[in-house]
Amino acid sequence: MAIKVRQPGLLTTVQDTGRFGEYALGMPPSGAMDVFSYQVGNNLVGNEDGAAGLEITYFGPELEFTEAAVVAVTGARMPPKINGEEAPLWETFSVEAGDVLSFDYLQSGARCYLAVAGGIDVPEFMHSRSTYTLIGLGGFEGRALREGDELQVGELNGKPDGLSARVGLAVASQQIPAYSKETELRVIIGLASYRLTEASMEEFLGTEWTVTTDADRVGYRYRGGEIEFVEREQPAGAGADPANVVDFGYPIGSVQIPGGVEPIVLMNDAVTGGGYATIGTVISADRDRLAQSKTNDKTRFVSVGLEEALAAREQRRRQLADIKSSLGG
Amino acid sequence: MDDKTVKSPMPGTFYRSPDPESAPYVSEGDRVSAGDTVGLIEVMKSFHEIKSEQDGTVTKFLVENEGAVDAGQNLVELE
């Protein structure tokens, strides 16, 4: 069973939960940017957690199924179509051999996820099927999909009979996130926040930032304010730029402000360390929503404490578990 | 009228010329054929040519140069 790529869309990549545990080698995790939508997709089609799917960014592909399959599309509102007829979002549906899945224009959010029962079967690289395009490894030949590619779908482990019963399963509407053009992201201030003046920290938290066109899987870049660093004599190894400190590891979600004008939130494909002062970190529970903000959208950063961050993480974990059990997972 | 417009397939920044020094791809009053480039969209550090899907005459630009656009937004009106 295969999926033929008739049109690749703008940036369609194979992703799973991510390539964790290799950060010390300088290997970022890659993986689905919006883990929530990706995981629910797997739940809908009855896949094991961690099965690979497609992440579809901004403009959707055209995909032809060579055999019948059970699929689900979650995440951004980029309405899927089967042979031109509208298909549901956040709901399991079946496709027949020869059917073509395409997508309408993006209406809200930034990326959607296609889950296929059996998972996308590409070779594992360092225990993950996620694509890391910057170095050309993982996923489908280490790159975004192109016209003419053929993706293999994994074996169903002898449970195709139960599969048709999944068709029509849907995520309850109150569990489906709404994506607006204004996003609030909670951050833990820290690591090198001592490098900002008090007024600049207020400015960082008070500014409505705009997502620039550069925002991608590596990082989200913002414009809209100007940040000043505390004047000091730079220590050995920190370089002359006041935005620099002595090199250290960058947390995923950490915020750096090269030049003081464009904050960057590092995401799944980012460099793992360097010498920019990271002044805070977007909490893990909010990175799903960050990944659904898009170029030209507005973002505010809100300072929270560790307790709130951990509570938000626990709430998200519980919500995902609830959805999974409601879908018979 | 709606079917005579060129839409942006993706969100980003709209440019009317291939680079700041060059003339616009097309201007109001110009004839375009299906497949002609009418502008660029910049997103995720790359530029994508926006092509007209039909023949016509450019009557109006609905987004200014360097303007922010949404996916599916009308860019150029044809007649």
d(CA A155, CA A128): 17
- B5, B7, B47, B70: which to substitute to probe chain A, counting the most A Cβ within 10 Å? B70
Using a pLDDT cut of 90, give the percent of chain A over it. 92
On whether residue A326 sits in a domain, the answer given is no
Banded model confidence at residue A161, pLDDT cuts 50, 70, 90: low
**Sheet of B31-32, strand order:** B5-7, B74-78, B56-61, B31-32
Residue A16 shares a structural domain with residue A86? yes
H helix or E strand, kind and range, residue A263: none
On whether residue A324 sits in a domain, the answer given is no
Q: Is A57 on the interface with B (CB under 8 A)?
A: yes
Residue A134 shares a structural domain with residue A278? no
d(CA A5, CA A44): 23
Residue A41 shares a structural domain with residue A187? no
Residue A108 shares a structural domain with residue A214? no
Residue pairs spanning A and B at CB distance below 8 A: 50
Q: What is the pLDDT of residues A283-306, one digit of tens each?
A: 999 999 999 999 999 999 999 999
CA B3 to centroid of chain Cα atoms: 14
**Taking every pair of C-alpha atoms in chain A, what is the biggest distance, in angstroms?**
69
Q: Based on the structure, what is the number of domains in chain A?
A: 2
- Interchain pair B43, A10: CB under 8 A: yes
Dihedral of alpha carbons A271, A273, A278, A280, sign: positive
Residue A154 shares a structural domain with residue A220? no
d(CA A70, CA A6): 19
Angle, CA A145 vertex, CA A144 and CA A146 arms, to 5°? 120
On whether residue A328 sits in a domain, the answer given is no
On whether residue A305 sits in a domain, the answer given is yes
Query: Tokens for A150?
Result: 């053929």
- What CATH number should be reported for the domain holding residue A216? 2.40.100.10
Arithmetic mean of pLDDT, A111-125: 97
On whether residue A94 sits in a domain, the answer given is yes
On whether residue A21 sits in a domain, the answer given is yes
Residue B2 has pLDDT above 60, yes or no: no
Q: What is the pLDDT of residues B64-73, one digit of tens each?
A: 999 999 999 9
B60 CA to chain A: closest CA distance, Å? 22
Mean residue pLDDT of chain A comes to 95
On whether residue A323 sits in a domain, the answer given is no
CA distances, A158 to each of A53, A117, A154, A155, B57 (Å):
20, 12, 11, 8, 59
Residue A10 shares a structural domain with residue A39? yes
A220 CA to chain B: closest CA distance, Å? 10
Of A148, A177, A206, the position where a domain reaches its end is A177
DSSP A192: S
Please say whether the beta carbons of A58 and A111 come within 8 A.
Answer: yes
Q: Which domains does chain B have, with CATH numbers?
A: 2-78 (2.40.50.100)
Residue A216 shares a structural domain with residue A77? no
Q: What is the pLDDT of residues A93-106, one digit of tens each?
A: 999 999 999 999 99
Of A144, A177, A210, the position where a domain reaches its end is A177
Residue A129 shares a structural domain with residue A267? no
Give residue A141's region: left, alpha or beta (phi > 0; psi -120 to 50). Answer: left
Q: Which residues of A touch B7 (CB under 8 A)?
A: 105
Q: Which residues of B touch A216 (CB under 8 A)?
A: 44-45
Q: Going by C-beta distance under 8 Å and a sequence separation of 6 or more, which residues neighbour residue A151?
A: A2, A3, A5, A14, A120, A121, A122, A140, A145
The beta-carbon neighbor of A105 closest among B42, B68, B72 is B72
Please say whether the beta carbons of A102 and A84 come within 8 A.
Answer: yes
Strands A264-266 and A219-223: antiparallel
Query: Tokens for A207?
Result: 């500014």
- pLDDT for res A172: 97
Residue A158 shares a structural domain with residue A198? no
- pLDDT for res A156: 78
Of A162, A177, A192, the position where a domain reaches its end is A177
d(CA A282, CA A269): 16
Q: Which domain holds residue A285?
A: 182-317
Banded model confidence at residue B1, pLDDT cuts 50, 70, 90: very low
Residue A163 shares a structural domain with residue A243? no
Write out residues 124-163 of A within 8 Å (CB-CB) of B: none
On whether residue A322 sits in a domain, the answer given is no
Q: What is the pLDDT of residues B8-62, one digit of tens each?
A: 999 999 999 999 999 999 999 999 999 999 999 999 999 999 999 999 999 999 9
d(CA B41, CA A10): 12
Residue A132 shares a structural domain with residue A190? no
Nearest to A156 by CA among A141, A168, A166: A166
Arithmetic mean of pLDDT, A222-243: 92
Residue A159 shares a structural domain with residue A214? no
- pLDDT for res A239: 86
Q: Where are the alpha helices (DSSP H) in chain A?
A: 35-45, 160-163, 198-206, 287-291, 306-326
